[in-house]
């Protein structure tokens, strides 16, 4: 089972590549960028500490991009979740969501939105 860790800014390229591959797309011309548009680097520059990556020795297997609201001290937000299609149904997303919920609760967040 992949190990879970906090995301890092340096994960950005790998996460975008995974999202494209898992969606069956290649990061091509601007009109076909798909996941690149919803996964800008700034999410990891400012919210790596609240985002999670599950990986094994072969690379990223799943990830969750989430943040704590700056405007509402009780709200956390999940922006994007990706799971390798070959590993779906094995609890990876559940583990990411659970860890995010637990960490949000520890930070005083009482509501999670997506």
Structural domains of the chain in order of their starting residue, each with its CATH number:
3-113 (3.40.630.30)
Cα-based angle 78, 55, 1 (whole degrees, multiple of 5): 105
pLDDT score of 106 more than 90: yes
Model pLDDT, residue 37: 77
Q: What is the model's pTM?
A: 0.90
Nearest Cα residue to 113 out of 81, 72, 77: 77
In 3-state terms, what secondary structure has residue 26? coil
Tell me: the pLDDT tens digits for 54-93?
A: 999 999 999 999 999 999 999 999 999 999 999 999 999 9
């Amino acid at each position: 089972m992949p190990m879970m860790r906090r995301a890092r800014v340096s994960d950005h390229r790998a996460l975008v590549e995974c999202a494209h591959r898992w969606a069956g797309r290649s990061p091509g011309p601007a009109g076909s960028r798909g996941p690149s548009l919803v996964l800008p680097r700034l999410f990891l520059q400012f919210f790596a500490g609240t985002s999670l990556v599950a990986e094994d020795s072969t690379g990223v297997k799943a990830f969750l991009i989430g943040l704590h609201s700056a405007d509402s001290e009780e709200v956390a937000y999940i922006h994007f979740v990706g799971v390798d299609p070959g590993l779906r149904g094995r609890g990876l997303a559940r583990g990411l969501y659970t860890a995010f919920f637990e960490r949000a609760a520890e930070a005083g967040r009482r509501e999670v939105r997506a």
